[in-house]
Chains A and B, each alone.
Chain A
């Protein structure tokens, strides 16, 4: 099967190098709608959906392969090999920041830099390490997901009240979000929030930007600080933002921090 179809790859923009955007748990490539266009003038921008999310090919979902972040990292490596000739700038949100890290550690020659938005190498507290959650919280999340199992299609659909300003956007989103299989969502949640890639963090040799929000329960400040210390080539940028999606709620502040980083790294 073609990787482009499997991961619903969308390529736009033009430029000497390629920037790959990877969405986090709960979303799909639509999450980049406000940030990616800022780079289309300077880069070839590549958006994709992880297998199991958005408009990816659900028949490619393999419960064994995607039972760890390594399965997703393998896909990222295949995708980068397929779409780019030189090393890429990889922009990963949330769990995808760690997927990018794993791919980069395995195949350093494919990556020029990593931009991590709201990353966390381990969500669960462990001794002195503060991840922000205990195991019980993750079970509570799985319950919440289960609670929205029955209404899955409808709560993702704006049809009832409508999205008057942007009806075409609404339809597109509804279509792609509705394709998310609740069983897959649950497994992805478990894989995401029970992952622990701290041992890999010191191995990342690419220059890295950590975009840390000031108020984010998913990736608290302590985690950003941990990464700044543990990553060999870390730049930490703090964004004044409530929530876990600065690329949606503060797209220009996010782009500014990225631009500074890219300029310093001459990318």
Chain B
């Protein structure tokens, strides 16, 4: 049994000197029994790392526990190659002498597999560390971008207000037709730039902060919409709008935000709808719900665009000549609707035109 065993077997003294070894083990390490018995200690057959491990783990554990199982060490072949082996050991007394009985199994495949596992684990740890680093970085960048947008927007507001005020003063003066046209374009552009800044600030807040801030209080929705349309009429004197009011009574809403919402939808309708058409704005106050709808005639919006148009940075058209902001308007509309506990949607057909509608609870 000892001679023919399908594993390497050896017996050593307490100091490691080999006293018996079977042919299987001899063949594995390429050494004869004569070269091993009485001449070599078990630890002499280990790599340097294995010898240290033998001293720091193997020997003390074997002495304390009496047995060791599944220790993996590289044994040195006579010709220098190292052979990974899994080893079990038992320390006991035989005929009054303390001996160690060791069983060894060559574990090349297991070794290869385990090395791969260890490598994979290392790679995973590196990847996780890298991902964490990137996440930190992007958080920093986002924070930085938020601050930049805040600073730039704030700093742009003052010069824009000055331009708007200047244009307003000029419009009151005695102007030629050509000059009046120029002043109106200045007003419109200033208004668009201001709206863009407000959207940018809101976008940053909605995306990076705690969502869009709204302060809901009892509001006359019709009046809020009416004021928004009045302001738009000043900036776009050539465009026509109708305001349809259904129902009455206060609703809990943020009047400023509703005006912003209507402003975004109506300027979109001006930009993308039929240039000679009338934009219809409907505000309805029902018993439970408030609905706002902005309708324009003109070519329909494709379904593909409809699916993504409420996301930030999506443009309704790829035509760069269209007067359009960077694509935050509808995202802000949706966020305002959400902040009111409601939602925004669009329907668009060739015959019926395009309608954006927002519905939220009246409360």
| Chain A residues with a Cβ under 8 A of chain B | 24-27, 30-31, 33, 94, 133, 136-151, 154-158, 160-166, 169-170, 173-174, 177, 193, 215-218, 242-245, 248-249
Contacts and interface: CB of A to CB of B under 8 A. Distances in A.
A175 B104 CA distance: 26
A8 B125 CA distance: 30
B342 to A, nearest CB: 48
5 tightest CB-CB pairs across the interface, nearest first?
A: A140-B49, A26-B56, A141-B49, A137-B48, A144-B49
B101 to A, nearest CB: 10
A165 B47 CA distance: 32
Contact of B64 (A136, A141, A169): A169
Contacts of B48: 133, 136-137, 140-141
A245 B52 contact: no
B72 interface: yes
B51 A148 contact: no
Interface of B: 14-16, 43, 47-53, 55-57, 59-61, 63-74, 84, 86, 88, 90, 111, 114, 117-118
A218 B69 contact: no
Given A30-B64, A218-B55, 19 more contacts: A27-B60, A133-B48, A137-B52, A143-B49, A144-B49, A144-B53, A144-B74, A147-B74, A151-B72, A154-B69, A155-B68, A155-B69, A160-B88, A161-B90, A163-B66, A169-B65, A170-B65, A244-B56, A248-B59
A248 B57 CA distance: 12
15 contacts: A26-B57, A31-B60, A94-B56, A140-B50, A141-B53, A142-B49, A149-B114, A150-B117, A155-B71, A158-B66, A158-B68, A173-B61, A174-B65, A217-B43, A244-B56
Nearest to B125: A183
Contacts of A142: 49
A140 B111 contact: no
A144 B73 contact: yes
A147 B84 contact: yes
Contacts of B49: 137-145
Contact of B69 (A33, A157, A173): A157
A157 B71 CA distance: 11
A162 B56 contact: no
A160 B52 contact: no
Given A26-B60, A243-B55, A147 B114 contact: yes
A146 B118 contact: yes
Contacts of B67: 158, 160-163
A215 B16 CA distance: 12
Nearest to A161: B67
Given A137-B48, A155-B69, A242-B15, A145 B53 contact: yes
Most chain A CB neighbours (cut-off 10 Å) among B47, B65, B86, B111: B65
Given A133-B48, A142-B49, A158-B69, A217 B55 contact: yes
Contact of B55 (A139, A147, A166, A244): A244
Nearest to B17: A242
A243 B64 contact: no
A33 B64 CA distance: 9
B65 A173 contact: yes
Most chain B CB neighbours (cut-off 10 Å) among A141, A173, A248: A141
Nearest to A146: B118
Most chain A CB neighbours (cut-off 10 Å) among B50, B61, B114, B117: B61
A218 B52 contact: yes
A217 B51 contact: yes
A220 to B, nearest CB: 12
B66 A149 contact: no
Contacts of A139: 49
